């Protein structure tokens, strides 16, 4: 039985999951994924669950989007979710609208014992009571209870088009209100380009897009020309695609190796870099290509959960005054093997990195009840550490809501004010 809403606050579970792999192999991966997700819910017994998904429908979404509905149906009907009598599910499945398609999915589940929760209606400019279960996918741009935006194409000119963007919803629970933002940022298109300079050109692209998202939230941006919404605590969680500083981490991993450059005979462009030990029969330590990162010893990314490499995880430092994160104590969340029998193996396509994160504003951090006697009252970890969850391990944050820390809302909540 889930914990009651007490002075200590309701149990909140935030989960981010890039689910692209699940729709390539729904028979195996989807079942394992759902089992592990449900186990996490049953372990922590939250009253409110927010699941942010990226790459809904998979990489080959035109062929795989049909599997999405059955995935959501399985999730809603699972034993772990049976006591969650209210739900809001938003799925961006309209890939035919390339100007707007983000492939994001936002699923929110509310336990039957949680009575005082409301969701903000951006058109009516007020909170509304959440009743029943709703799944929305056909008309997200006109849905009143969310804001969806795709990043401008010129943010990522290397791609003809991308699915990167964000979705924001706003909630009021007990006596505090907060925003939840699902985000998917740009990836590293080439390991060779990422290696060229420190920090890489790709980190700059992500910084620009994240800054765009955060600054909009922080300046209480206009939703219409006549109204703007009050700034609230916010949690932003998704696939940030944050990478280790490639140049720095490779120089560290290959500090005693010599580098050989292999160029294309046609264009004279660099095709691959081969790092060899100076002695030891010139053993290859690392082979680097556009989509290959073949390092000799994957254990370095697993020993002590890979946390000795966190010194190269620097992309968030630009936002250290605005965005906060709990200490990471789990291995890099990407890129895991998509072989359903390989739960801990990384693919040799990219340098493993903590792509999937849960960040928060300073005011949102105040909403986390600080642990006293209660064991594991705050947990920041991954899901399914030993089983295949696709190429990304989901990451979750469980905490109890400090219901006295947020802005009072009730009937007197001033969530929108005239400019």
**pLDDT band (50, 70, 90) for residue 373:** low
pLDDT tens digits, 254-276: 999 999 999 999 999 999 999 99
Q: Among the residues of 25-99, which ranges form H helices?
A: 31-44, 61-64, 68-77
Hey, what are 410's tokens? 């009730």
C-alpha to C-alpha distance for 203 and 187, rounded to whole angstroms: 9
Flag whether 30 is in a domain.
yes
Average pLDDT over residues 313-322: 95
The residue segments making up the domain with residue 219 are 11-243+298-405
Q: What percent of the chain has pLDDT over 70?
A: 88
* Predicted pLDDT at 410: 41
CATH of the domain at 140: 3.60.10.10
Alpha carbon of residue 54 to chain centroid? 7
Question: Quick one: pLDDT band at residue 376, thresholds 50, 70, 90?
Answer: low
When comparing pLDDT for 264 and 225, which is higher? 264
By the 10 Å C-beta count (0-12 exposed, 13-18 middle, 19+ buried), 31 is classed as middle
CA distance 115 to 376: 25
Residue 95 half-sphere exposure toward CB, CA atoms < 13 A: 15
Q: 76-90, 238-252, 265-279: lowest mean pLDDT where?
A: 265-279
What are 16-40's pLDDT values in tens digits? 999 999 998 888 899 999 999 999 9
In a domain, 6, yes or no: no
Q: CA-CA distance, 370 to 89, in Å (whole number)? A: 30
- Domain assignment of residue 46, yes or no: yes
Would 1 be classed as within a structural domain? no
Q: Compute the average pLDDT of residues 354-367.
A: 96
Is residue 251 domain-resident?
no
Whether the per-residue pLDDT at 277 is higher than 50: the answer is: yes
Q: pLDDT at residue 221 above 60?
A: no
Domain-embedded: residue 285: no
Tokens of 72: 């959501």
Answer yes or no: is pLDDT of 418 > 80: no
Number of folded domains that form the chain: 1
pLDDT at residue 24, rounded to an integer: 86
Distance, CA of 76 to CA of 55 (rounded, Å): 19
Other beta carbons within 10 Å of 364: 22
Q: What's the pLDDT band for 216 if we cut at 50, 70, 90?
A: low
| Residue 238 covered by a domain | yes
């Amino acid at each position: 039985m889930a914990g009651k809403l007490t002075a200590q606050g309701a149990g909140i579970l935030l989960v981010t999951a890039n689910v692209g792999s699940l729709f390539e192999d729904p028979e195996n991966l989807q079942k394992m994924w759902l089992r592990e997700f449900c186990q996490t819910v049953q372990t922590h017994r939250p009253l409110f669950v927010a699941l942010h998904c990226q790459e809904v429908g998979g990489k080959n979404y035109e062929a795989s989007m049909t599997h999405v509905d059955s995935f959501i149906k399985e999730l809603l009907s699972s034993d772990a979710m049976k006591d969650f009598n209210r739900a809001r599910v938003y799925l961006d499945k309209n890939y035919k609208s390339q100007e707007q398609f983000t492939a994001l999915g936002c699923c929110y589940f509310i336990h039957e014992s949680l009575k005082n929760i409301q969701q903000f209606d951006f058109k009516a400019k007020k909170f509304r009571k959440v009743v029943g279960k709703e799944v929305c996918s056909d008309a997200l741009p006109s849905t009143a209870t969310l804001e969806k935006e795709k990043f401008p194409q010129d943010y990522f000119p290397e791609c003809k088009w991308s699915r990167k963007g964000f979705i924001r919803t706003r909630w009021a629970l007990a006596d505090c209100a907060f925003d939840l933002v699902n985000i998917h940022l740009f990836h590293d298109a080439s390991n060779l380009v990422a290696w060229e300079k420190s920090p890489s050109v790709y980190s700059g692209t992500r910084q620009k897009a994240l800054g765009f998202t955060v600054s909009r939230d922080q300046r209480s941006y206009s939703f219409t020309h006549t109204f703007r919404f009050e700034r609230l605590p916010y949690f932003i969680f998704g696939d940030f695609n944050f990478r280790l500083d490639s140049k720095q981490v490779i120089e560290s991993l290959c500090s005693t190796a010599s580098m050989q450059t292999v160029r294309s005979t046609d264009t004279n462009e660099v095709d691959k870099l081969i790092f060899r030990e100076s002695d030891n029969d010139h053993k290859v330590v690392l082979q680097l290509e556009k989509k290959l990162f073949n390092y000799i010893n994957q254990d370095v990314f697993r020993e002590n959960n890979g946390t000795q490499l966190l010194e190269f995880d620097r992309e968030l430092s630009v936002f250290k005054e605005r965005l906060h994160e709990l200490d990471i104590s789990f291995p890099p969340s990407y890129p895991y093997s998509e072989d359903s029998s390989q739960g801990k193996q990384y693919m040799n396509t990219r340098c493993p990195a903590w792509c999937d994160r849960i960040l928060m504003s300073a005011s949102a951090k105040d909403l986390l009840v600080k642990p006293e006697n209660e064991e594991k009252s705050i947990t920041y970890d991954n899901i399914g550490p030993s089983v295949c969850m696709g190429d990304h391990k989901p990451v979750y944050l469980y905490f109890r809501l400090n219901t006295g820390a947020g802005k009072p809302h009730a009937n007197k909540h001033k969530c929108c004010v005239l400019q």
